Structure 1
Amino acid sequence: MKKANIFLLTIMLFLGVMLTACSSDANSKSDDGKTKLTFTMWGGESDKETYQERLDLAKEKFPDIDVELIYIPKEYAQKVQTMIAGNTAPDIMQLAEEVHIYSSKNQLAPLNEFIESAEIDLDARFGSVYNNYSREGNVYALPDRGGSIIVYYNKDLFDEAGVEYPTEDWTWDDLLTASQKLTKKDGDKIVQWGVGVGDWWPLWMSFMYQNGGGILDEDGNPIINSPENIEAMQFAVDLIHKYQVAPSNKDYANMGDIGADQLFAQGKLAIDYTGFWNIGGASEVEDLNWDIAPLWKNKEKGTIPFGSGLAITNQSKHKEEAFKIIEFLTGEEGQLPIVENNQDAPANVAVLESDTFLEKDFAKHPINTDTFAKSAEMIIEMPLIPEWNEMQKLFTDNFADVWTNNGSVEDALNKTQQDLEKLLKK
């Protein structure tokens, strides 16, 4: 009798699990039997509209797949993690530098088999940037929105100083020489700055990679206190404190707590280096005569990629359909609205090099849009480790005295090396 009861209990538990699974699968279907997917994204209203436009195009190609766009403008990572913890993860999610925080927790599905089945040539479609979404041999996202750090320069200020415009062949020496000529004083007060250098990680990290340095070696070991990195960061700091051609944090605070982008828009900064988004800000300023160029180099070319990728969560019950959507969105047709709506630089190389992008009126006057294609060839592979957030906090804490008070670069990097070694041994 006892054995019979145990047997019946086992059968009931099994049926309960099966019913739950079937119910869950049914909930991912529309009333008409179509596959239902969810897609989370961040950004502004214009980003939301562009994603929806792209999903509408995907719907035309895959009429049996319905995709619900879930817009999360604030606290994106926290809210997505809550969804994952509650077993209500989206099928598709937008992500960026935090990709391997998710992948290391087995929260993302490896895309290798789907990529191979679809015969996608990642290098041809995206260049090298897809490597930033790869870990331990697996690709966890397809690049979607692209772009990188580029140079913005005020043509009028260059002309007044008799300085030639920046090119992709510019070196650190060219940057320093030009910045010195472009910096102006009224008595002891600097009223026009040569270049904007800051404590945001892409700005100083790009110097390290250009000097043959980096954050981690090929085996994932910290190398941030290497001679190449010390020299690179010292150069960046010297632009502020030694040569005084770049504003310090105190200078920015005294000017109303603004940043380099705002100072450039005011016509008081000759060289700004930042992302695609500054095109919009610069274009809003009447009579600001500006253009763009690839970032300078030293021993090597190198620029930090921006943008985001599209991943599939491991909780998705329709990974095959989800991949069809992200394959389309990162293909040429799916990328065009990014360009048409002035949203961003596309990650797809063919679109980046197309007449549609190169001839697009992103600004109120012609600009060198081929800068983005040239920059795509200079992109570095970033240290996007699962401990990314903790590493960022170390950078902020350990480098504060360097940027604000001209503290010792070598001491700061040595301490960061020790802290990284401890962090990665956990």
Structure 2
Amino acid sequence: MILIKKMENYFFVTTGVLFAILILDFTGCSKPIKRSDKKTIIIKAPEASSYFGVYEKIINNFPDKTIKIKFQRMENDKWRQKLLLEIAGGSIIDIFRMAPAFVNEFATRGQLLPLNSCFEKKQLANYYHFLINAFSMNDTIYGLPENLAIQAMFYNKDLFDKAGVSYPDEFWTWEDLVNAAQKMTIKDSNGIVSQYGLLVVDIWYDMIRYYGGHIFNDAKTRCIINNPTNREAIKFLYDLFYIYKITPSGYEREQTGMGYSEAFEMNKVAIFPAWSHLVINFKKNQRLNWGLSYIPRVKGRKRLVMCASQGWAISKNTKYPKESIKILSYLASETANKQLVKLGDSIPHLKNSDLNHFLNTPNEEINIYNKILMDSLQNTEMRELELYKTQIPYAELKEICNNEFIKCLRANEQNVERTLINIEEKVNRRLNDE
């Protein structure tokens, strides 16, 4: 009885304490429990530290503060393979940087969220068609672009003036370029080149498309790279290195220890077809008196200019698709793109972009160059697009092609026809395996 009585007393005391706690809690007198209603979105991007800060700034300015964003850096080395493994392994990733070259591979593995129904048609129509096409597979959109770079022809005004050569204009053909570059290629009595008229880097795909050639049939089921048009295009490119000798081969360039654009920046090259984002580098170089013009056209054909882009995609496994779509829309918006334009990494990437900040800068010469870049969009396509749209992963396909072109264009160990035959045979064998 005594034991029962003690238990009854314990019960009433305990109940009373709990009741008091509940009263305090509901009346707001207890210490409030901190809760976070924010949903955390994980974004990953493979970037160098200097560039990573730009994205951090863009993301920090995301207007909806009810959504928490965690921005994580991925190492540049083999980021594609690492990302595939992380997603397949169930890692929490909502949004990640996506290059058009890898859309097919990620989409085929079922790792991307389809976006067609996530955005209004009017919003999607504001992107240039070649950008949307690059981020799509079988008419399904899997990513949106953040930036846009386009090819241009840079030239050294001092070297042109010294040689008495007129500056390039919109009417230049590749034959005009060769004639000018020959006059500005300087060799000593031993044949050692001290100044090249031209520098071209890895443009075999570009040259094929300039000539109107194709790598695959329309269905992308057969490689047809060994055809008369492509042989003519690659033979012209080969001649730039080994017949006209106006541009250093890849091997010769490596021997100098110079990087992608260093020879041009050091006044060792007169003409340099390259990407628009290099404008920011050249503007900072006080020793370089440079100009910018249109990419030359192949005689008898319309000018074609290659463009490139990076963008963002959403993991199909995201737990927060609504919030991720909202962030993706912001990352691919004009507001975010303006930051990249200011940095020099992009030209405006929307059809109805406000071009005032791009075409009306305090520097009138830069305004002229920027207008050339925007005009070039009238005849552009995504670089290496045909390599993106096959059953073979882009990285594997590019390796097959590059290994053969190295033998031909870099080392001069293999003729043009044998190079194209080898590529066609290897790629078609690989397609037959699919």
Structures share a fold, TM > 0.5? yes
Q: What is the rounded CA distance, in whole Å, between the counterparts of 1:56 and 1:297 in structure 2? A: 43
Show the counterpart of 1:64: 66
Matches within 5 A, 1:42-53: 42-53=46-57
Q: Secondary structure at the match of 1:370?
A: helix
**1:91-240 residue pairs with structure 2 within 5 A?**
91-96=94-99, 97-115=101-119, 117=120, 119-122=122-125, 124-187=126-189, 188-198=191-201, 200=202, 203-220=203-220, 221-240=222-241
Using the alignment, how far apart are the partners of 2:352 and 2:379 within structure 1? 17
- Is the 8 Å Cα contact of residues 38 and 68 (structure 2) preserved in structure 1? yes
Q: Partner residue of 1:24?
A: none
State the distance in 2 between where 1:166 and 1:129 align.
29
Q: Give the structure 2 partner of residue 261 of structure 1.
A: 261
Residue 98 of structure 1 aligns to a residue whose secondary structure is: helix
Report runs of 4+ in structure 1 exceeding 6 Å deviation: 361-367
Correspondence 1:348-363 to 2 at 5 A: 348-351=350-353, 354-360=355-361
Q: Provide the rounded CA distance (Å) in 2 between the counterparts of 1:402 and 1:170.
A: 27
Query: SS of the residue aligned with 2:381?
Result: coil
- 5 Å matches for 1:267-282? 267-282=267-282
Contact 2:156/2:290, CA 8 A, preserved across alignment: yes
**1:192 counterpart letter in structure 2:** Q
Deviation at 1:361?
Answer: 7.2
How far apart in 1 are the matches of 2:52 and 2:110? 28
| 1:249-328 to 2 correspondences below 5 Å | 249-255=250-256, 257-298=257-298, 299-328=301-330
Q: 2:403 aligns with which of 397, 404, 410?
A: 397
Q: Are 2:155 and 2:291, in contact at CA under 8 Å, matched by a contact in 1?
A: yes
8 Å contact kept, 2:400–2:423: yes
Aligned equivalents of 1:319, 1:232: Cα separation in 2:
46
SS of corresponding position for 1:125: coil
Q: SS at the partner of 1:151?
A: strand
Aligned pair in 2 of structure 1 residues 343, 103: CA closer, same or farther (>3 Å)?
same
CA distance in 2, matches of 1:360, 1:308: 25
The aligned counterpart of 1:344 is: 346
Specify the SS of the correspondent of 1:120: helix
Q: Which amino acid aligns with 2:407?
A: D
Q: % of aligned pairs identical?
A: 25
Distance 1:114 1:84 in 2: 22
Q: Is contact 1:279-1:363 (8 Å) kept?
A: no
Offset, 1:346: 4.2
Give the CA deviation at 1:285.
2.8
Letter in 1 for 2:308: F
Task: Say whether residues 1:411 and 2:418 are aligned partners.
Answer: yes
Q: Displacement, 1:129? A: 2.2
Aligned partners of 2:421 and 2:177: how far apart in 1? 27
1:259 shift after superposition = 4.0
Q: Secondary structure at the match of 1:169?
A: coil
Give the match for residue 25 of structure 1.
none
Q: 1:345 to 1:366 in 2, by over 3 A?
A: closer
* TM-fit CA distance, 1:370: 2.1
**CA 134–70 in structure 1, closer or farther in 2 if over 3 Å, else same:** same
2:85 to 74, 82, 85: 82
Partner amino acid, structure 2, of 1:119:
K
Whether the 8 Å contact between 1:335 and 1:348 is mirrored in structure 2 is no
1:125-173: CA deviations, max 9, x gaps? 3342221111111111111121022211111111222222223332111
Contact 2:95/2:312, CA 8 A, preserved across alignment = yes
3-state SS of the aligned residue for 1:109? coil
| Aligned residue identity for 2:370 | T
SS, match of residue 379 in structure 2:
coil
- Following superposition, the deviation at residue 178 of structure 1 comes to 1.5
Equivalent residue of 2:380, what SS? coil
Q: Which residue of 1 aligns with 2:242?
A: 241
Q: How far apart, CA to CA, are the structure 2 residues paired with 1:186 and 1:271?
A: 20
Unaligned segments of structure 1, at least 5 residues: 1-29
**Corresponding letter in the other structure for 2:326:** K
Structure 2 portions without partners, runs of 5+:
1-33
Question: Which letter maps to 1:37?
Answer: I
**Structure 2 residue aligned with 1:10:** none
Match of 1:422, SS?
helix
Higher CA-based Rg: 2
- Give the conservation status (yes or no) of the 8 Å contact 1:305–1:379: yes
Count of aligned residue pairs for this structure pair: 388
One-letter identity of the residue aligned with 1:287: R
Aligned partners of 2:348, 2:36: CA distance in 1, in Å? 34
Report the CA distance shift for 1:388/1:56 in structure 2 as closer, same or farther (over 3 A): same
Q: Distance in 2 between matches of 1:399 and 1:361?
A: 44
CA distance in 1, matches of 2:376, 2:366: 21
Report Cα offsets for 1:285-338 as digits up to 9, x if no partner: 322101222322212322332220111111112222212212122222222111
Distance 1:415 1:344 in 2: 37
Cα pair distance change 1:359/1:44, threshold 3 Å = farther
Question: Quick check: 1:211–1:300 contact (8 Å CA) kept in 2?
Answer: no
- Asked if 2 retains the 8 angstrom alpha-carbon contact of 1:197 and 1:240, the reply is no
Change (3 A) 1:181 1:366: farther
Distance 1:168 1:399, change over 3 A: same
Q: CA, structure 1 residues 167+330, in 2 after alignment: closer, same or farther (shift >3 Å)?
A: farther
CA contact (8 A) 1:53 1:337 kept: no
Q: Shift in Å at residue 260 of structure 1?
A: 4.8
Bigger Cα displacement from structure 2, 325-334 vs 230-239: 325-334
Per the alignment, residue 3 of structure 1 pairs with none
